[in-house]
Structure 1
């Protein structure tokens, strides 16, 4: 068996499409398997990095500051959310896409889906007694 023939074209992509609940379950299982990952997912400083911080401020930051600031992009890529044939995120120009004040707020939009996944995973992680 030649494994290369069975790999997805984009090696960053899991190779099949999951619905929102499936992505949440998969991300939750991956994060829950690592106590350090759980801690970092629940730490607010992991989600952003002060780009205009002074040297003093930078020294005061924990080592994991900003380590998850690109997690939403990673989720979108890993689960193929931008792929045109993903049945959970694909919509055409003829579809009625929800847009408000120039912002796409349609639940199928990959950005919106990945941010919901993150919030749902964090919500589940907060339920773990050791993480609270």
Structure 2
């Protein structure tokens, strides 16, 4: 049985698989760890649940692949608001969608928004807007 990867291992994996994300790799790992903490609280506070991670390396790499696919360059002084919003939206799609509770999902979205300097109001509006329209077509 192999234990969970350390932050150092995760950082090395992200940098190796996605060298374009190296300047923000630390923040990606920090976000991943925070989201796993929040997911653990949703399952309960008992020791058996708190030691489990909801998200795996696969989820982290999926998020990284989606961010890389956006085509941004991360070698500058800082991240623009647009880039932060885009990274945030990808994080929400990967990490917040699992929660069946709207309240928990919104809590995760707000926490991710804080980490990526996205306005909390954007988190609240994205939550309502980002739902697909479903139409029942009578064929």
TM-score, normalization: structure 2? 0.28
More helix by share: 2
Instruction: Give 1 or 2 for the bigger CA radius of gyration.
Output: 1
TM-score, normalization: structure 1? 0.29
